[in-house]
Amino acid sequence: MTAALSIENLKKTYANGFQALKGVSLSVQKGDFYALLGPNGAGKSTTIGIISSLITKSSGRVRIFDYDIDQDFNSAKRLLGLVPQEFNFNVFEPVEEILVNQAGYFGIDRPTAFARAEQFLRQLGLWEKRRDQARELSGGMKRRLMIARALVHNPKLLILDEPTAGVDIEIRRSMWTYLRQLNAAGTTIILTTHYLEEAESLCRHIGIIDEGELIEDTGMKQLLSQLDMETFVLDLRHPLHALPDLGSGHVRLIDESTLEADICRDNSINFLFEALSRHNIEVLSMRNKTNRLEQLFVHMLENNGSGTGA
Of the candidate residues 108, 121, 251, 301, the single one contacting other proteins (CB under 8 A)? 108
> Cβ closer to other proteins: 39 or 81?
81
Binding track, positions 129-148, relative to other proteins; x by CB under 8 A: --------------------
What residue type is 44 in one-letter code?
K
Footprint of other proteins on residues 17-46 (CB under 8 A)? none
Which region among 100-108, 119-127, 243-251, 258-266 touches other proteins (by CB under 8 A)?
100-108
Q: Does 91 bind other proteins (CB under 8 A)?
A: yes
Residues binding other proteins: number (CB under 8 A) = 36
Looking at beta carbons only, is 46 or 193 nearer to other proteins? 46
Beta-carbon contacts of 302 under 8 Å, excluding residues fewer than 6 positions away, are none
Q: Does 271 bind other proteins (CB under 8 A)?
A: no
Backbone conformation region of residue 161, classed left if phi is above 0, alpha if psi is from -120 to 50, else beta: beta
Q: Which of 23, 104, 125, 244 binds other proteins (CB under 8 A)?
A: 104
Nearest to 101 by CA among 145, 146, 149: 149
Q: Does 55 contact other proteins by CB under 8 A?
A: yes
- The answer to the question of residue 78 lying near other proteins (CB under 8 A) is yes
Which residues face 185 on adjacent strands? Answer: none
Task: Please provide residue 158's backbone torsions phi and psi, each rounded to the nearest 5 degrees.
Answer: -115, 125
For residue 206, the cross-strand partners are: 35, 218
- Rounded Cα gap, residues 62 and 264, in angstroms: 41
**Could you say which of 2, 54, 227, 268 contacts other proteins (CB under 8 A)?**
54
Query: 7 near 33, Cβ under 8 Å?
Result: no
Q: For other proteins, which is the closer residue by CB, 55 or 165? A: 55
Q: How many CB atoms lie within 10 A of CB 212?
A: 22
List the one residue from 10, 26, 28, 82 that touches other proteins (CB under 8 A).
Answer: 82
Under rule CB under 8 A, residue 14 binds other proteins: yes
Instruction: Report the SS3 class of residue 4.
Output: strand
Closest to other proteins by CB, 69 vs 234, is 69
- For residues 79 and 220, which CB has a smaller minimum distance to other proteins in the complex? 79
Measuring CA to CA, which residue among 186, 111, 105, 181 is closest to residue 150?
105
Identify which range of 74-82, 181-189, 249-257, 268-276 contacts other proteins by CB under 8 A: 74-82
Q: How far apart are CA 124 and CA 195, in angstroms?
A: 21
The whole-angstrom separation of Cα 13 and Cα 20 is: 6
User: Which residues contribute to the site for other proteins (CB under 8 A)?
Assistant: 14, 49, 52-56, 73-75, 77-78, 80, 82, 84, 86, 88-93, 97, 100-110, 149, 153
